[in-house]
Structure 1
Amino acid sequence: MDVQNLLDNIQELSDLELGVLLSLIAQGHCLMTTEDDLVDDLANELSLIVSERFGLSYVVLEPDDFDSIDRFGESILEERGTQFTSEDDPQPGSLRARLTNIDIRSVSKSVRRSSRDDGRLDDRMIKNVVIAKGFNFADEYVQIQAIEIINNKRFLSPSSKDIRLIPHLNDDVFISHYHLAEHGFANLEELDHSVVSDGSSGPSKQRSSWESTQRSRLISKGVIDEIRSLGEAAAITPEVRRYLQDIITFLRLERGVDGGITPRATTQFVALAQYLAPLHGIDFVTPSLVMLAARKVYPHRVIIAEPARERSTQYGSEPGAVAELLQDLTPELVIEEVLNTVQCPI
């Protein structure tokens, strides 16, 4: 699939496929959340997307894989003989060959290659995509190790609970997305349908037929790189740039906000607005794209204040009234209030 073909058919992508595509374009990481009973389906859907739509290797991590740094490290490594060795390989899977090895055993070491027990250098590489179920429940030390790892990797975290990652790791997450049950899981459903409709064939033949169809829809690394270049070249007028800055300022000052509007978030906010432009068939950033970007970059970052820390209490507000105000306040409501308040350029 070439770039123009992808852009012509962009509406056919599901919300999850778009989330993965944007993460790959931005070379960032995505936090996917959904209802408690759908986390397994979400992880399975993401595994089909990254493998069949993008041709990337992946691993799905269960909560038990976060018990220790060693177990976490071993879980995300490729076995010998499975990785590509040439950076010039045109296939999407060659992305893994461009990644440096990570020393799993020590966050502080600058050396990227570790010694194995038998004295040989460990030449294994990390999977293209790590799908970490419930990673927000992982031990703090495992999350600290992940900060170094995800700076070199694609990292998706399907979760169902409103528990944050540790601050530095949370700030490294490019975008977040809540998947509604009513939107379903397109790839899982297509695979199930192919098995049901071809009852005369064995399971392996059914899967092979489905994979053959998916190969015609494969989004290659070259396409992703080209869209990234188009996004980086997207123009931002002074009026729209001022709109971006006003949203950032109002988020920082909005009542009930206790942080999360970081410089890193600002950089990613602007970048997402630009990357969205080519996906909408234009070469400039519009206010509507800025609004969409804000809804994806800030929900996992905005920190709602505890009543005692809400700034209005410094000017005489009653703690009880402040607590009542904050009771139902969410990052999503904060963002919508700011977007409704900031004057949008015509």
Structure 2
Amino acid sequence: MADESLIDKIHDLSDLELAVLICLVAKEHCIIDTEPDALDELVEELELVAENVFGLSHAIVDCSEHTSLDDFAHAILSIDASSSRSNSPVRPRQESSYFLHTSAFQSISKSPVSENFADNKTMANVIIAKNLDEAPKQVQIQALELMHSKRIYTRTSVQHAPKRFLFIALLAGGEGPRLTKHLNDQIFISHFHDPEDGFPNLEEKYDDGDSTSSVLKKSPGFEPDANLWPRVSAAEIEHLSQLSDQAMVSVEIKAHQQNIICFLRTHRAVAGGVSAAATQHFDKLSRCLAPLHNLSYTTPSLIALAARKIYPHRIHIVKPERERSMQWGSDVDAVSALLEGVGPEDVIEDVLGTAGPEVPL
């Protein structure tokens, strides 16, 4: 089990920080959703989470329908490999967010990634792909290849992801699958951040940092001492990862988990999305949650919590004319009325509630 000081740190994390921690522990990737008006603030908050909480470099990919493969490669290969700070856990924000402020994503025509560029740049630890669902299919396929193989092919070289690597698909205003099928299934968890929950790191920055920015002039290579010591270290993340691998799952809990999967697959509102990959992720997340709650075993409540994070971005809601009772003469208008307003989260809550399997004692 984790020591008390680490558990106290985990309890102090915000919802976004906890989502990032879970993905780093599991060595997987995530979708973070929010309201459209709060998307830019969420990008800044995640930048600060990567830097200050975990001491990781980051890069922003601002996607649109005109984003090309070269644009994508330019954005994620944003860290100067020849810099004297290449071995430091912290990189200046200016390096990783440079391409967010260029016009590269406004035009589909762009010069190829130069050999010199690829040779002198390396990949950031955290890739934040804003509006990835708006990117062309070939860009989303490139993102899938990056997640799966942890490398990206430019026109002149192959660039490998760092050991600690996280890809965040940042979406806005929607539910259910919005990415290409295989990319969506590769994503580990999804999390909705309500803007009313706030952006603590961003608020702290503007409360404390801006007031001194006019007094303290930083050189391009200067980083505050506080940022050199992330709140959650790489050693602590690795320790949590080892504990999650060792978490015990009883026969009763495993059976309960499989029953939830069966009930989701046979739910009348579900057309698909409860895949084999989702089942593997379901089991993995259940184990990862145990050490975060200072447990060496999984429980029914952890299983339920894992289901609420694994399936919302995967479940497809069936069209009324294809709902299974239509085979036996149901009225399509009655089925439409039944399914109106039903989303993936409603299905999950239905299965975890009275309509689902009995919870083992």
Superposition TM-score tier, normalisation by shorter sequence = 0.7 to 0.9
**How much does 1:80 deviate?**
3.4
Deviates more, 1:116-125 or 1:296-305: 116-125
| Residue correspondence of structure 1 range 252-267 to structure 2 within 5 A | 252-267=265-280
Q: Which runs of 5+ in 1 are unaligned?
A: 95-114
Give yes or no for contact 2:64–2:131 (8 Å, CA) kept in 1. Answer: no
* Distance in structure 2 (CA, Å) of the matches to 1:201 and 1:20: 32
Q: 1:218 to 1:235 in 2, by over 3 A?
A: same
One-letter amino acid of the structure 2 residue matched with residue 69 of structure 1? L
Report the residue type matching 1:129 in the other structure.
Answer: V
- Map Cα deviations across residues 145-166 of structure 1 (whole Å, 9 max, x no partner): 1111122241112211326000
2:158 maps to which residue?
none
Which of residues 151, 175, 192 is equivalent to 1:178?
Answer: 192
Q: Does 1:168 align with 2:165?
A: no
Q: 1:159 aligns with which of 157, 163, 171?
A: 171
Residue in 1 aligned with 2:201? 187
Quote the Cα distance in structure 2 between the aligned partners of 1:220 and 1:148: 28
TM-score by length of 2: 0.81
Q: Are 2:308 and 2:348, in contact at CA under 8 Å, matched by a contact in 1? A: yes
Q: Answer whether contact 1:59 1:130 (CA < 8 A) is retained.
A: yes
Task: Find the aligned partners of 1:214 and 1:255 in 2 and give their Cα distance.
Answer: 50
Q: Does 2:84 correspond to 1:69?
A: no
> Is the contact between residue 258 and residue 304 of structure 1 (CA under 8 Å) also seen in structure 2?
yes
Find the counterpart in structure 2 of residue 130 from structure 1: 127
- Aligned pairs for 1:208-227 (under 5 A) are 211-227=224-240
User: Which structure has more strand as a fraction of its residues?
Assistant: 2
Q: Distance in 2 between matches of 1:279 and 1:66?
A: 41
Give, as a single letter, the amino acid of the residue that structure 2 aligns with 1:155. F
Give TM-score scaled by structure 1 length: 0.84
Letter in 1 for 2:140: Q
Higher mean C-alpha displacement, 55-64 vs 292-301: 55-64
Q: Does 1:342 align with 2:339?
A: no
Which residue of structure 2 aligns with residue 148 of structure 1? 145
1:132 Cα deviation after fit: 0.8
Equivalent pair of 2:33/2:171 in contact (CA under 8 Å): yes
Deviation of 1:261 after TM superposition, in Å, equals: 0.4
Residue equivalent to 2:27: 27
Distance in 2 (CA, whole Å) between partners of 1:62 and 1:83 is 28
Secondary structure at 1:295's aligned position in 2?
helix
2-structure distance, mates of 1:283, 1:67 = 45
CA deviations 1:115-150 (Å, max 9, x no partner) are: 976699846432111101110111111101111112
* Aligned residue type for 2:80: E
Residues 116 and 122 in structure 1, CA contact (< 8 A), matched pair in contact too: no
Whether the 8 Å CA contact 1:130–1:154 is kept in 2: the answer is yes
Is structure 2 residue 12 aligned with structure 1 residue 12?
yes
Cα deviation 1:231-256 (Å, max 9, x = unaligned):
11000011100110000000000111
Q: Give the Cα separation in 2 of the matches to 1:263 and 1:339.
A: 20
Decide whether the 8 Å contact of 2:57 with 2:89 is kept in 1: no
Q: Match for residue 81 of structure 1?
A: 82
Q: Which residue number in structure 1 is paired with residue 55 of structure 2?
A: 55
Partner secondary structure for residue 156 of structure 1: strand
Quote the residue 1:98 is aligned against.
none
Q: Residues 114-129 of structure 1 correspond to what in structure 2 (within 5 A)?
A: 122=119, 124-129=121-126
Contact 2:90 2:227 in 1 (8 A): no
Q: Unaligned stretches of 5+ in structure 2? A: 92-111, 151-164
SS in 1 for 2:317: coil
Note if 1:301 corresponds to 2:314. yes
For residue 202 of structure 1, report the CA deviation from its aligned partner: 2.2
In the TM superposition, what is the alpha-carbon distance from 1:260 to its structure 2 partner?
A: 0.4
In structure 2, C-alpha distance between the alignment counterparts of 1:336 and 1:210, rounded to whole Å: 46
* In 1: Cα distance, 2:223 partner to 2:201 partner: 10
Q: Which amino acid counterpart does residue 254 of structure 2 have in structure 1?
A: R
User: Does the CA-based 8 Å contact 1:7-1:279 persist in structure 2?
Assistant: yes
C-alpha RMSD over aligned residues:
2.8
